[in-house]
Structure formats: C-alpha cells, structure tokens
Amino acid sequence: MKPVTLPFAAALLLAGMGPAAAVDFQFWYGNTGAAETAIQNACAAFNDSQTEHKITCVGQGSYDTAMQKAIAAVRAKQHPVLIQFFDAGTLDLMLSGAVEPVAEALPDVDWSNYVTGAKSYYETSKGQLYSQPYNASTVVFYGNKEMMAKGGIDALPQTYEALVEALRKLKTAGVECPYVTDGHPWRVLEQVAARHGAPIASRSNGYDGLDAEYLINQGLPAQHLTNLAAWHDEGLVKLDPETRAGTFSDAFNAGECAFMEASTANYSAAYKALGDKVLVGMAPVYEGTERKNTFVGGGSLWIMKGHDPEAVAAAGEFLNFVRQPEQQINLIREAAFVPVTNDVMAVMREQNLLTDPAFGSIEAGMESLNQPGNENSRGIRLGFYVQFRDIFKEETQRAFSGEQTMQAALDNAKTRGDELLRRFQQTYSGVELP
C-alpha cells in the first residue's frame, strides 16, 4: 500500500468522483467494560446503516496495549486505518509520523462545532486538529446529599474555601471521610491547574516547543497540593488505601465519603449506588479565580498513514457517522461520556433527555469544558507524559504518607520530569512541533 499524502477530498477524486469503493477496514480501541460495549454497538450500527463498507472493531484491552500493538503493526505494514488513543499520549502520536491530521483528511467538517475543551487538547499550537475527539469526559464535583445534611450543608461548595469549611463541619458532625481522592494527577494537578488557567509547564504546557520545563513546584499547583496534604493531615481528606472500600470512587458510592472530584464517567455507577442522593456540579476553584475550561479526558480517533485512499475515505465515513448527535447520545447513554460537539446539547434538550438520570453529569461537564480558555487550559503537550504521571503519583504519595513534605515531593517530581522532557527533546532533536 502507498502512504496517504492527499487530503480526503482528493482521495475521493482518485476513487472515481463518487462514493468510495467498498472497503473492509479495522479500528483498534483500548477500552473495556461499558465503554467497549458502547464502541462495539457503534461499529455494528455503522455496518447496519450502509452496505458500502464494513468496519471491524478490535479491542486491545488498554490504550497502552493498543499503542504498542499499533507500533509493531506499522513496522509490519499491518496496522489499522483507525486507532483510538488516550489524551496523555497525544504528543507521542503527533510526532510519530504514523498518523494523518484528521483536519486534513476531512477538510469539509465544521470543526468549530467541537466543544472548546475537547478540541483544544488534540490541536496543534496553530489550531489544526490532529485527531477526532470521541469518548470524552472531564472532571466534576460529586456530593452525597444525605451525608452533607449531617453538617448542615445543602449545596455543593463552589470554592475550595467553602469546601474546607464544609469538610470541617462534616468532621465535627462525626463523618469519618468528608472528602476522598486517589491523588491521581489528572484530578489533583491537571484539572485543577486548567480551570485556574495556571501552567503545569512552561511554553504553554509544551504547545510552543519541546524545551518546556515543569512548573508544578510553584504557583497555584504547588499551593493546591500543599493544601491537599494539610487537609489530609487534618483528617478532612482520605486516600484510596485509607478507605474501607479500597478506592475513592467505591468509597463515595458506598456512602462512606461525602465528596469527591471525579470524571463525568463516574456518574452512572454513583447514581446506580446512591440514586437521588448524588449531587453533581463543576469542581471548585479558589476565591477570586476567573474560571477557565477543564481538560478533556478519554480518547480520540486517529487516522493512520500507509493506507490506500479508498480505506481512508471509508474511515472518514465512520468518523462522520459517530459524530452524529444520535450516535454521540448512544455513547453517552451507554458509557456516561459527554458530548464532543455543541449541537448535541440542543438535541438532548429537544428530546428532554437532560432530566434522565442516565445523563446526570452532562450539563456540569459541558459547562466546565466550555468555559473561556487561555494558553494553559488548551491541554498538555509534553513528552513521556504517561511516565511523568507515574513519577508524580509516586512522589506525592510519599508526601501523603509523611515520608517527605509536599514541597519536596513536587521538587523531586519536577527534577525527574524535566529529565524525561530532555530525553524526549533529544529523541526528536531537530523536529518542529506541529
């Protein structure tokens, strides 16, 4: 097969100035559970909707496994046309040379219809979209209404100052676990920095060059993590191993803990366990903050190079299909994701779906993603970022356990993270960021 260098429209011309030739093509994804079921249903619906093409959707068990298999498949020239990959691996795929920017492959799509926070994460510094947002989520704030009432709290706190006051009231009222978290950087670092418009790294979180450095040991991120450690020491916050349930989400769902910051995708399990006791809103900010958009989580769909124009055209038809409001709504209903295009909310309102408990986190998630943005809320464009997340959690967990101060943890994470960035920069020496 010849590598594809032509945009989607040109590919159609080569295919004969009409519908693309019938193609059987593959799509690899990295989800399991409800998300996998939803993806397989979307693939079946696409095949049922037309007779021109057939998509075979192959689960790989995890995003990392899908990526590793795709690398091996590219070398063997047996890779799929489409691959789903998660947010933190965006830069690796952008610089891999193995993918075609989706905006080039599908130039007629109105990409401006995409939700601000969902689109910006997968764009270049110049605003070109490289992959199509698909299974999207973001962070929201959860409260257990019944437990909140024990402290005389009738609404979700909108600021951290109000949250701490509420946590102290709950503790005084005898609630052993006012707030719970697992300390994952997506929740306690990335999303907090994003909605405050604060940097995680220099050079606009890496969008402006591979010479970025981590800034997590100063400013808002450092202050928040220091606060979180202090609240933990005060007995207001518990971590996974300190709960009876063993994980932060299970502890909240079991009615053990009153508050948590978690993904919109956590809503369905929380509602199934707690019903109308669950309250959902945008995550808190510190007083005086001009709120910015939160980051998108989940995955996006990438077109891989090395396929005939007909295969790329067929993949484009699938991307067009899953972008339709009804297909997005199905994905949301089955796996608790959020819409990736703005028109979906209008459809959901027309169909009175937003009153359905199955969609209980949608409005808060969309409101959060669609807040005004700045250079620090676009996303994260840092090399070896998946490995950095592991470093961050290792160092901060040592702080929560009392082995070092939180400031020392963040200093260590910065030093180790910068070493990763320099290795990545050396690997791509002479390469200009797209």
> Cα-atom radius of gyration of the chain, to the nearest Å?
22
Residue 48 in any domain: the answer is: yes
Asked if residue 375 is part of any domain, the answer here is no
Is 129 contained in some domain? yes
pTM of the model as a whole: 0.90
Q: Is 282 a member of any domain? A: yes
Taking residue 228's Cβ as centre, other Cβ atoms within 10 Å add up to 24
Q: How far apart are CA 224 and CA 191, in angstroms?
A: 12
CATH classification at residue 277: 3.40.190.10
Instruction: Count the residues in the chain.
Output: 434
Q: Are residues 88 and 104 in the same domain?
A: yes
Q: Based on the fold, state whether residues 189 and 285 are members of the same structural domain.
A: yes
Q: Is residue 153 in a domain?
A: yes
Do 189 and 204 belong together in one domain?
Answer: yes
**Domain contains 194:** yes
328/413 Cα distance (integer angstroms): 38
Q: Could you tell me if 183 and 200 lie in one domain?
A: yes
Query: What is the spatial distance between Cα 184 and Cα 88, in angstroms, rounded to a whole number?
Result: 13
Distance CA 386, CA 65 (A): 13
Q: Quick one: 43 and 105 in the same domain?
A: yes
Range of the domain at 318: 8-137+296-351
Whether 148 and 270 map to the same domain: the answer is yes
The total of structural domains in the chain comes to 2
**CA dist., res. 270 & res. 87, Å (int):** 24
Cβ(104)–Cβ(7) below 8 Å: yes
Last residue of a domain, one of 331, 351, 371: 351
pLDDT in tens, the chain (434 residues): 333 333 333 333 333 334 446 899 999 999 999 899 999 999 999 999 999 999 999 999 988 888 788 888 888 889 999 999 998 889 988 998 999 999 999 999 999 999 888 899 999 988 899 999 999 999 999 999 999 999 999 999 999 999 999 999 999 999 999 999 999 999 999 999 999 999 999 999 999 999 999 999 999 999 999 999 999 999 999 999 999 999 999 999 999 999 999 999 999 899 999 999 999 999 999 999 999 999 999 999 999 999 999 999 999 999 999 999 999 999 999 888 999 999 999 999 999 998 888 789 999 999 999 999 999 999 999 999 999 999 999 999 999 999 999 999 999 999 999 999 999 999 999 888 88
**In a shared domain, residues 144 and 268:** yes
Separation between Cα atoms, residue 45 and residue 284, nearest integer Å: 39
207/267 same-domain check: yes
β-sheet with 278-281: strand ranges across: 237-239, 179-181, 259-263, 139-144, 278-281
Same domain flag for 116 and 152: no
Q: How far is CA 299 from the centre of its chain?
A: 7
Query: Residue 75 has what pLDDT?
Result: 87
Q: Is 3 part of any domain?
A: no
Per-residue pLDDT, 126: 87
Contacts with 352 (C-beta within 8 Å, 6 or more apart), sequence order = none
**Is there a domain that residue 366 lies in?**
no
Residues 304 and 287 both lie in one domain: no
Estimate to the nearest angstrom the gap between the alpha carbon of 18 and the chain centroid.
37
Q: Which one-letter amino acid corresponds to residue 81?
A: V
Residue 355 per-residue DSSP state: G
Q: What is the largest CA-CA distance in the chain?
A: 73
Q: What integer pLDDT is reported at residue 244 of this predicted model? A: 98
d(CA 129, CA 121): 9
Residues 165 and 277 in one domain: yes
Tell me, yes or no, whether 280 and 249 share the same domain. yes
What is 67-95 written as a DSSP string? HHHHHHHHHTT---SEEEEEGGGHHHHHT
Q: 3-state secondary structure string, 139-207?
A: EEEEEEHHHHHCCCCCCCCCEHHHHHHHHHHHHHCCCCCCEEECCCHHHHHHHHHHHCCCCCEHHHHCC
Q: Which of 351, 372, 397 finishes a domain?
A: 351
